């Protein structure tokens, strides 16, 4: 192993790849192989023969409905997350706020984007649940009954508002460096040419930031789509989104066909995979400008 | 005008983030009627199941960190030193856990390593624990690898290695006594993220039927009134502490560098 560095040993058998064997072994065994097992299983009958039946089996009303509501929640929470995160980050970077705000806000974003799962669900139950802080406050102080108005934490909007707690910080963490990358010269050049503030944003800044924003949207989408724990702790099984259904299927084969479970999981990989391909592609495009 | 709008946005945003935390803490303190008390915390801390699941998760987190360190540091080092052409590939692979949902990975584990398979890891408690640890290591791989790789970027790996080798160091010495101390801060911040992830993880532990903290939280949430909020507060404090420690080590390292 300890060969000398020069001269470059061109003719020798290159054994450098040996150093990557442990990593390749681990990733192959505990990441790639399990995923492939699911993907292949989605196209197999119980006896192992090839089939499209499982994929076709996804197109039943209940499963389509679960994908649809999952996609709706993911789109809503990532769209709002992008918007609010963008507004907060630009308020922080460009709004002329004191610099001391920045470090705590970024640290908090790091915490909040990692504070997902079961505890997050509890926090929102304590706030917007039937006996939650905000619910009771609105009821006793203003006579507003959220429940009577049709709001329920165990619903589409309830889940979306909860997901925003980790979506917004993630957006802030990703978009802040991009906003820092907006060069002052661009703004000055634009105003020299007579552009108003709105024109600068519409024709210079936003087109530059657009790939980053859209790419982050795709990342947030995948993030929400794969979230299991928050949804289960919040809604139990009252809201049939894909991760909850798959969880129940793995636990007890509720669909009555193990290979349909594979197909559902494959559908999840497909959706998050597409979202991430978009993210990576747009990220490469945005890095051209923000170097 | 602009500044006022910026403050307003920030205020609204902060309100959204602070309210649930207040709600959570308030609920956790209101077990006794009419007054705030730490009753819920006392109840939780006295629960033997809490102690078991909590220490199980802490142990698993430490195990995951050690394993992740042994896996990631040599790999990232080797890729930088000898196989720079493989870097995009390795980097892509380490990001895959962000693409493939954890529930899919663990579903694959259950099917691939069941009792009738070629590697029946789910057949024994020890095997399942190992499998869960590998699962946690996969989940933390993106964060761990990125942290270590960023750390390696700041030092001259090739020169350090050659210098150490010309002084007679073997590969183990190079890694343990030259590279590792130089990227320790990066490894530590990766370790803290890993710790936070493992402590809060639910899906994998629940589906592999291991008595971890996440499933315990969920179970309490379904059965108890005030305890879950005390537990959630504890979980939040842990996450907060991990992130705070990352800031602290990073700042500490900057300080020592400036002093030199």
The band of B1, judged by pLDDT with boundaries at 50, 70 and 90, is low
Q: Does residue B69 sit in helix, strand or coil?
A: helix
Q: What does pLDDT average to over chain B?
A: 87
What does the pLDDT average to over B216-229? 86
Radius of gyration over every alpha carbon of chain A, rounded to an integer in angstroms: 24
C-alpha distances out from residue B54 to A2, A113, A268, B122, Å: 45, 22, 31, 22
- The predicted model gives A105-119 an average pLDDT of 83
- Rounded to whole angstroms, what are the CA distances from B217 to A279, B180, B212? 33, 36, 9
In this complex, do A27 and B93 lie within 8 Å of one another by their Cβ atoms? yes
Residue A30 vs residue A204, higher pLDDT: A30
pLDDT at A251 over 90: no
For residues A283 and A174, the model is more confident at A174
The interface predicted TM-score of the complex, written ipTM, equals 0.87
pLDDT higher than threshold 50 for residue B226: yes
Q: What pLDDT was estimated at residue A1? A: 47
Instruction: Give the torsion through C-alpha atoms of A131, A132, A134, A140, to 10 deg.
Output: 20
Identify the band that residue B207 occupies on the pLDDT scale cut at 50, 70 and 90. Answer: very high
CB contact under 8 A, A247 and B71: no
Name which of B9, B21, B30 is nearest B237 in CA terms.
B21
Structural domains of chain A sorted by starting position, each given as residue range(s) with its CATH number in brackets: 61-254+271-287 (1.10.3720.10)
Q: Would you state the pLDDT for residue B216?
A: 92
Indicate the SS3 state at residue B120. coil
| Statement: residue A268 has pLDDT above 80 | yes
Measured between CA atoms, the residue of chain A closest to residue B78 is: A19
- What's the pLDDT score for residue A24? 93
Instruction: Give A-chain residues touching B74 at CB under 8 angstroms.
Output: 19, 22
Q: What are phi and psi of A87, to 5 degrees?
A: -60, -45
Q: Which of A107, A116, A121 sits opposite B243 (nearest CB)?
A: A107
Would you say B107 and A261 are in contact if contact means Cβ atoms under 8 Å apart?
yes
Tokens 């629960």 correspond to B47
Q: What is the 3-state secondary structure (H, E, C) of chain A?
A: CCCCCCCCCCCCCCCHHHHHHHHHHHHHHHHHHHHHHHHHHCCECCCCCECCHHHHHCCCHHHHHHHHHHHHHHHHHHHHHHHHHHHHHHHHHHCCCCHHHHHHHHHHHHHHHHCCCHHHHHHHHHHHCCCCHHHHHHHHHHCCCCCCCCCCCCCHHHHHHHHHHHHHHHHHHHHHHHHHCCCHHHHHHHHHCCCCHHHHHHHHHHHHHHHHHHHHHHHHHHHHHCCCHHHHHHHCCCCCCHHHHHHHHHHHCCCCCHHHHHHHHHHHHHHHHHHHHHHHHHHHHHHCCCC
Closest by CA to B207, choosing from B98, B122, B95, is: B122
Which of A253, A216, A246 has the alpha carbon at shortest distance from A228?
Answer: A246
pLDDT at A6: 58
* Mean pLDDT of the B40-52 span: 89
Chain B contact probe: residue of A30, A196, A216 with most B CBs at under 10 A: A30
Ramachandran assignment for B33, one of left (phi > 0), alpha (psi -120 to 50 degrees), beta (any other): beta
- Backbone φ and ψ of A149, nearest 5°: -80, 0
pLDDT given at position A250? 87
Q: Report the distance separating Cα B31 and Cα B33, nearest Å.
A: 6
Instruction: Give the Cβ contact number of residue A80 at 10 Å.
Output: 18
Q: Is the pLDDT of residue A290 over 80?
A: no
Q: Which residues in A lie closer than 8 A to residue B162 (C-beta atoms)?
A: 5
Give pLDDT tens digits for A1-53.
455 555 555 556 777 788 889 999 999 999 999 999 999 988 888 787 888 88
- pLDDT (average), residues B144-166: 90
Residue B11 sits at the chain A interface (C-beta within 8 Å):
no
- The answer to whether residue B118 scores a pLDDT higher than 80 is no
Q: Do A127 and B23 touch (CB under 8 A)?
A: yes
Residue B259 pLDDT grade (very low, low, confident, very high; cuts 50, 70, 90): very low
Q: What value does the mean pLDDT take over residues B157-168?
A: 91
Q: Which of B6, B235, B244 sits opposite A119 (nearest CB)?
A: B235
Which pLDDT does position B55 carry in this prediction?
A: 94
Read off the pLDDT band of B198 (50, 70, 90). very high
List, in sequence order, every residue forming a beta bridge with A44; answer none if it has no partner. Answer: A50
Tokens representing B150?
């960023």
pLDDT of the residue at B260: 43
Check if B237 contacts A (Cβ < 8 Å).
Answer: no
In this complex, the residue of A95, A123, A128 whose CB is nearest that of residue B232 is A123
**Can you give the pLDDT at residue A10?**
57
Give yes or no for residue B191 having a pLDDT over 80.
yes
What gap in Å lies between CA A102 and CA A100, rounded to an integer?
5
Residues of chain A contacting B235 with CB distance shorter than 8 Å: 115, 118-119
> Comparing C-alpha atoms, which of B97, B98, B75 is closest to residue B87?
B75
Phi, psi of B187 (to 5 degrees): -60, -40
Pairwise CB contact (< 8 Å): A114 & B193: yes
Measure A261 CA to nearest chain B CA, in Å.
9
Stretch B82-100: mean pLDDT, rounded?
Answer: 87
Measured between alpha carbons, how far is A102 from A107 in angstroms, rounded to an integer? 9
Question: Taking Cα atoms as reference points, which of B259, B88, B77 lies closest to residue B161?
Answer: B77
Judge contact between A262 and A41, C-beta under 8 A: yes
pLDDT at A265 over 60: yes
CATH topology of domain B42-259: MetI-like fold (1.10.3720)
Kindly report which listed range (A58-67, A136-145, A157-166, B5-14) carries the lowest average pLDDT score.
Answer: A136-145
**Beta carbons of B91 and B145 less than 8 angstroms apart:** yes
pLDDT of B254 reads 61
């Amino acid at each position: 192993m300890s060969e000398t560095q020069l001269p470059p040993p061109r003719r020798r058998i290159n054994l450098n790849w040996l150093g990557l064997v442990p990593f390749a072994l681990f990733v192959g065994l505990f990441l790639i192989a399990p995923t492939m097992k699911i993907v292949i299983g989605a196209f197999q009958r119980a006896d192992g023969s090839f089939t499209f039946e499982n994929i076709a089996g996804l197109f039943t009303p209940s499963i389509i409905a679960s994908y649809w509501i999952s996609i709706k929640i993911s789109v809503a929470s990532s769209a709002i997350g992008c918007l609010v995160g963008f507004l907060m980050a630009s308020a922080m970077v460009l709004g002329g706020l004191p610099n001391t705000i920045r470090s705590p806000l970024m640290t908090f974003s790091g915490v909040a984007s990692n504070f997902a799962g079961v505890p997050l669900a509890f926090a929102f139950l304590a706030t917007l649940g039937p006996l939650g802080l905000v619910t009771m406050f609105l009821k006793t102080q203003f006579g507003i009954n959220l429940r009577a108005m049709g709001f329920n934490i165990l619903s589409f909007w309830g889940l979306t508002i909860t997901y925003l707690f980790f979506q917004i910080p993630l957006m802030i963490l990703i978009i802040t460096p991009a906003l820092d990358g907006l060069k002052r010269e661009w703004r000055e050049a634009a105003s020299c040419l007579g552009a108003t503030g709105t024109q600068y944003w519409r024709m210079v800044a936003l087109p530059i930031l657009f790939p980053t924003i859209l790419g982050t949207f795709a990342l947030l989408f995948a993030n929400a789509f794969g979230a299991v724990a928050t949804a289960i702790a919040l809604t139990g099984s009252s809201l049939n989104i894909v991760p909850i259904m798959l969880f129940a299927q793995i636990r007890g084969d509720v669909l009555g066909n193990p290979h349909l479970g594979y197909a559902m999981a494959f559908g999840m990989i497909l959706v998050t995979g597409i979202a991430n391909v978009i993210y990576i592609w747009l990220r490469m495009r945005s890095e051209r400008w923000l170097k | 005008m602009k500044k006022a709008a910026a403050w307003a946005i920030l205020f609204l945003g902060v309100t959204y983030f602070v309210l649930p935390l207040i709600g959570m803490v308030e609920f956790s303190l209101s077990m006794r009627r009419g007054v705030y008390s730490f009753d819920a915390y006392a109840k939780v801390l006295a629960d033997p199941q809490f102690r078991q699941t909590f220490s199980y998760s802490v142990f698993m987190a430490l195990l995951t960190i050690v394993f992740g360190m042994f896996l990631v540091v040599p790999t990232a080092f080797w890729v930088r030193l000898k196989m720079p052409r493989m870097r995009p590939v390795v980097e892509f692979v380490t990001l895959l856990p962000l693409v493939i949902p954890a529930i899919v990975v663990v579903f694959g584990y259950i099917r691939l390593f069941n009792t009738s398979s070629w590697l029946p890891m789910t057949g024994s408690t020890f095997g399942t624990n190992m499998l869960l640890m590998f699962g946690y290591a996969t989940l933390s791989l993106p964060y761990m690898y990125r942290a270590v790789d960023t750390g390696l970027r700041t030092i001259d790996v090739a020169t350090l290695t050659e210098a150490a080798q010309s002084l007679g160091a073997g590969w183990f010495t190079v890694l343990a006594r030259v590279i590792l101390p130089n990227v320790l801060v990066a490894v530590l911040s990766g370790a803290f993220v890993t710790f936070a992830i493992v402590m809060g993880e639910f899906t994998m532990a629940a589906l592999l039927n291991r008595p971890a903290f996440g499933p315990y939280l969920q179970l309490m949430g379904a059965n108890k009134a005030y305890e879950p909020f005390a537990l959630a507060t504890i979980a939040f404090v842990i996450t907060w502490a991990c992130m705070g420690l990352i800031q602290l080590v990073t700042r500490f390292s900057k300080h020592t560098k400036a002093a030199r």
